[in-house]
Amino acid sequence: MIGLIGLGQMGGAMARRLVEQGQVPRVWDAHGPARNRAAGQVVDGPAACAAPVVILSLPDAGAVAAVLEALLPAMPPGGVVVDTSTLDPLAAREFAARAAYLDAPVSGGPAGAATGTLTMMLGGEAAALERARLALSLLATRIIHVGGPGAGQVAKLVNNLLVATHLAAAGEAMRLGAAAGVGPEALLAVVNAASGRSAATEVNWPRWVLNGAFDSGFTAGLMRKDVRLAMALAEATGTPLATCAAAASAWAASDIADAEDFNRVSARIGGIA
Ligand code: NAD
């Protein structure tokens, strides 16, 4: 039995994937419309999601703390909470001190969740991971145990700081090319066959920017959260970041609203949209 709390872009897709794989997860979201469109067995609160493996997909540490308050007293012996939300590694360590809790942020977006092809980076006890592994293998093709509590979140923040920096840099580079007379389609054909490529140029620009789709399922607000958390980690660890700090400033200063697709920030820097 699997529980799943948080049925937004990611959690909603995970619920559908679990049902496709023959599971009937017990699911809950604080927001009524998210519950109404959810796959699985909708229950009447976080405690009713208690199960040997409970997956969380929530916006931030505050939401996770509120859910754990209700959920933990109801968890069965040996039960594991697997938190796929992106949040502060320090918060993850606090949660892990209270329960069998794995920080397990993911990469791959709603499309990866829907097809069970996420990359999951975990922090926490190896024994707890082994108890959850079978359930997690329905959602993720790559399950990487990074280290102790919080290590998964550190890896996720490093990854997303790179994504944000690559997207800002790709936007600037496309704007430079266009100003000099070569448009983004022609530039991407070259960059993606040469050494300047990144996921920003190979995936984001072709899939969500150039065609005007902007429907990745990841908002600018959530990326800004990740960038803020990464910069706070840099401050807390006394790590000066010049290049990534410039990109972080560009994300903070962009006039793209939090509710918009995150690729619009790169497009706006690139002079498109
Ligand atoms: P989302 O905003 O679409 O969904 C979050 C859901 O959590 C919402 O349905 C909301 O109603 C629910 N929620 C909030 N507080 C709650 C509470 N106290 N109890 C129960 N439900 C509550 O967000 P998302 O895009 O699905 O992202 C979820 C998490 O995964 C975030 O931490 C995000 O940073 C991370 N993430 C997202 C993506 C992506 O591409 N969308 C990719 C990787 C990681």
Residue nearest to atom 25 of ligand 1 (CA): 9
Going by pLDDT thresholds of 50, 70 and 90, the confidence category of residue 237 is: very high
Instruction: List, in order of start, the domains of the chain with CATH numbers.
Output: 2-148 (3.40.50.720), 154-269 (1.10.1040.10)
Q: Closest residue (by CA) to atom 1 of ligand 1?
A: 8
Testing ligand 1's pocket by substitution, the residue of 58, 121, 208, 261 carrying the most ligand atoms inside 8 A of its CB is 58
The tens digit of pLDDT for each residue in 175-189 reads 999 999 999 999 999
Ligand 1 pocket check for 67: Cβ under 6 Å: yes
CA 173 to ligand 1 centroid distance, Å:
31
For residue 273, the model assigns a pLDDT of 74
Measured from the CA of 31, which atom of ligand 1 is nearest? 11
Positive or negative, the CA dihedral 226, 232, 233, 238 is: positive
Give Cβ neighbours of residue 143 (< 8 Å, ≥ 6 apart): 120, 122, 129, 133, 136, 137
**CA 211 to ligand 1 center in whole angstroms:** 26
Q: Would you place residue 268 in the very low, low, confident or very high pLDDT band (cuts 50, 70, 90)?
A: very high
The best mutation among 4, 5, 9, 227 to test binding of ligand 1, ranked by most ligand atoms within 8 Å of the C-beta, falls on: 9
pLDDT 10s digits, 187-201: 999 999 999 999 999
Confidence at residue 1, expressed as pLDDT on a 0 to 100 scale: 94
Is this prediction's pTM over 0.85? yes
CA-to-CA separations, 38 to 19, 111, 133, in angstroms, rounded: 10, 16, 23
Phi and psi angles of residue 259, each rounded to the nearest 5 degrees, phi first: -80, -10
Cα(59) to centroid(ligand 1), Å: 4
Q: Is 225 a catalytic residue?
A: no
* Residue range 144-164, pLDDT digits in tens: 999 999 999 999 999 999 999
**Would you say the CB of residue 31 lies under 6 angstroms from ligand 1?**
yes
| Mean pLDDT, rounded, of the chain | 98
85-140 pLDDT, tens digit per residue, is 999 999 999 999 999 999 999 999 999 999 999 999 999 999 999 999 999 999 99
Count other Cβ atoms within 10 Å, centred on residue 96: 21
